Amino acid sequence: MLKRVLIGLIRSHEHTSDRAKDPKLKSHYYRLSKDRAWEEVSSILKKMKGYKVLHEVQNVGEIVMEKKTAVGRTMDITIQVVGTSPGSTAVDIYSASRGSLGDLGANYRIIQEIYSVLDRKLASYKTS
């Protein structure tokens, strides 16, 4: 946790990927077709309190959202829904703070919050 805050003093963005060193920043996979995953993820994100979906581009699998923090900063969040095989889809998240200061780990926490909600709602489809 302290490491995240220290990194957050200088960095104002965070993202997930297959190659992430931090296991909590690895891509999440679901046993769903890309279209079905898109519908599920889109629906779940639209219901998340405190987040606002700005636009969706289904053919490229991108959902753009924003979240305003308690201190008034705006976080820009991009969710990628990528079909990896006919019955499997990966979800990656990029979160960035507007402004020049670091985020004190806020983007990291936002990614964990979104993944937590997706994993809970899509538990029966989650793969390791």
Per-residue confidence (pLDDT) for residue 125, from 0 to 100: 96
Task: State the pLDDT at residue 7.
Answer: 56
3-state helix, strand, coil in the chain (%, to 5): 35, 35, 30
Write the pLDDT tens digit of every residue in 70-106. Answer: 778 899 999 999 999 999 999 999 999 987 677 777 8
Domain that holds residue 19: 2-127
The pLDDT tens digits of the residues spanning 20-48 come to 999 999 999 999 999 999 999 999 999 99
Q: How many domains is the chain partitioned into structurally? A: 1
Q: Which CATH number belongs to the domain containing residue 66 in this structure?
A: 3.30.310.220
Question: pTM to 2 decimals?
Answer: 0.90
Residue 2's CB is within 10 A of a number of other CB atoms, namely 7
